[in-house]
Chain A
């Protein structure tokens, strides 16, 4: 009984601590300017939507949301499109040096962003990618691919190979097998990978700041960071914009969560 109580308290403390900043800026976004600046802080907001109005209309928040949707969406699609065949090949085909390829992939994702920022900028400059949304999509895809390939390859590996043999005997070529049998069964893996890619591309700040200098192309994190005026920090607008930036991600993750179920392949083979 005592242990369960301790466990419950531990969970409450952990969840509370991690949600506290989020809770605070949600509360802040509904405050008025006066409440934000009150000397003993005002705990409970009056429910003003003024900051939302100003964030959306004065600071062009919608443009940033749109940019983020385009960038994160195309990053996810492109990365999956490349990662699925690569992971399938690494999981199933006999490729010399397969382990080496996987290890190198992992190394790629370990480079500190700082170290590759310069080269990435020069490369994009050379191909005219600066200040284009596709200019950030390219490095995002490159940086998320290793993780996506690792996740997908381990999912593909767990599927019974007999299923693919059966599909081949039944008349599927390699692509047919991948599309009709392997992919439907690897749905949990594909959702897991896409959510991780999406979160990365949605939240990424550094490359976006580096590559997108025009407000018309900037994504949410950059846009919000550049909210600050010349003399004052618009805390209210920042909080409102952060809520707007976070909500879509939460919704997507919650929606996808029910697809991230393992055991979808139960019943294929014995056990």
Chain B
């Protein structure tokens, strides 16, 4: 167990910047998720922490010690790979023992550790098989076992569940969470799946374009995204976002977007330079009400399409030239093609000015 400290890490491949100025502190025993779309640099960051890749500038500190010049083997980290990377010519037992043997751990200690890990992961019957005789889920367990037997300072996971089918992924997710709580280990987990990020992590670090967009606990990341990218990346379906401009008119501020004019509550206080600047207005599909709500903005639209998800409905609506998605209760009697009135509770609106969250925009409104 250990804490990790990243200081202004940058990385370029052939003058192409992949990571820019990444600074991040991972406290001891935390489960930190690096979340982002493919190609955002999250896997590269993980490989830099592991020592498999070297950063162009910046420092990696484990327990306050600079590890930049240490090879992966000496950083005392374990890594679980997306493709499992089990050694095909070795049995499961030999796979688990490999790293310990390399570190000259005594034979009986190795046996004890393997027995512990095998019990924890429920893979005792598989110990003498070769990786090719295992199913995908079993391989994934062995890959995790290989990390667990090491008792490393840091666990690194590179999209470990992305090769499993949906059902298995859900159950492995739960097991992984339990495992982390049991081991009380520091884990860093790379994924592009926001559901995995929300359910597994103590903290989500959203990375896009090689930069950290937001590093927060899952609830806050969802409730108060730092910028329009995070707002659209977290949540299914994503937050409804409109880009537009803000003008000051007699009654207060008005938001304009092609065909959409939305008067904002007069009580809103904006920084002096705000009017006419580029703003993004957002609201989550589940925050839009179909009934009269106190302190809500009102918009008229029509329902284009209804998606029935079983538990609830997604209404794809058209408002002016824009579109938006509303999550509605199952018993909603709106049908396709019908006109609707949508209510946006003001305290549920998200406002981004120059791509930064303007916070709190509406909470103080009375």
Q: How far does the Cβ of A62 sit from chain B's closest Cβ, in whole Å?
A: 39
* B:89-135 near A, CB below 8 Å: 89, 98-99, 102-103, 130-134
- Among A172, A184, A270, the most chain B Cβ lie within 10 Å of the Cβ of A270
Which 6 pairs across A and B sit closest by C-beta, in order of nearness?
A267-B132, A171-B102, A269-B83, A267-B131, A170-B99, A162-B85
User: Chain B, 48-67, contact with A by CB distance < 8 Å: what is the 0/1 string?
Assistant: 00111000000000000000
Question: Whole-angstrom distance from the CB of A245 to the nearest CB of chain B?
Answer: 36
* Distance in angstroms between the alpha carbons of A266 and B79 in the assembled complex: 21
* Residue in B84, B130, B133, B134 whose beta carbon sits within 8 Å of that of A269 in the complex: B84
Given contacts A169-B52, A169-B77, A267-B134, 5 further A-B contacts (CB under 8 A): A165-B47, A168-B71, A176-B102, A267-B139, A268-B86
Contacts of A268 in B (CB 8 A): 83-88, 131
Is A160's CB within 8 Å of the partner chain B?
A: yes
Which residues, 152 to 184 on A, are CB-close (under 8 Å) to B? 160, 162-163, 165-173, 176, 181, 184
Q: For A265, what are the chain B residues with a Cβ–Cβ distance below 8 Å?
A: 88
Q: A169-B73, A267-B134 are in contact. Are A185 and B88 (CB under 8 A)?
A: yes
Is A7 an interface residue, CB under 8 A from the partner?
no
Q: Which residues of B contact A13 (CB under 8 A)?
A: none
A/B interface sample: 29 pairs, CB < 8 A: A162-B82, A162-B85, A165-B47, A165-B72, A165-B79, A165-B81, A167-B98, A168-B73, A169-B52, A169-B72, A169-B73, A169-B78, A170-B99, A170-B146, A171-B102, A172-B73, A176-B102, A185-B88, A185-B89, A264-B89, A265-B88, A267-B134, A268-B83, A268-B85, A268-B86, A269-B85, A270-B83, A270-B136, A270-B163
Return chain A residues, CB-CB under 8 Å to B50. 165, 169
Contact B83 A267 (CB under 8 A): no
Chain A contributes a number of interface residues (CB within 8 A of B) equal to 23
Chain A, residue nearest B147 (CB): A169
Distance in angstroms from A145 CB to nearest chain B CB is: 27
Chain B residues closer than 8 Å to A166, beta-carbon distance: 79, 81, 85, 87, 146
Q: Is the CB of B103 within 8 A of A184?
A: no
Evaluate whether A171 and B81 lie within 8 angstroms (CB atoms) in the complex, with A185-B88, A185-B89, A267-B131 already known.
no
Considering the chains assembled together, what is the distance between the CA atoms of A89 and B104 in angstroms? 28
Contact B83 A162 (CB under 8 A): yes
CA distance A185 to B85 in the complex (A): 13
B87 / chain A contacts, CB cutoff of 8 Å? 163, 166-167, 181, 268
Q: CB < 8 Å: which of B83, B89, B134 contacts A160?
A: B83
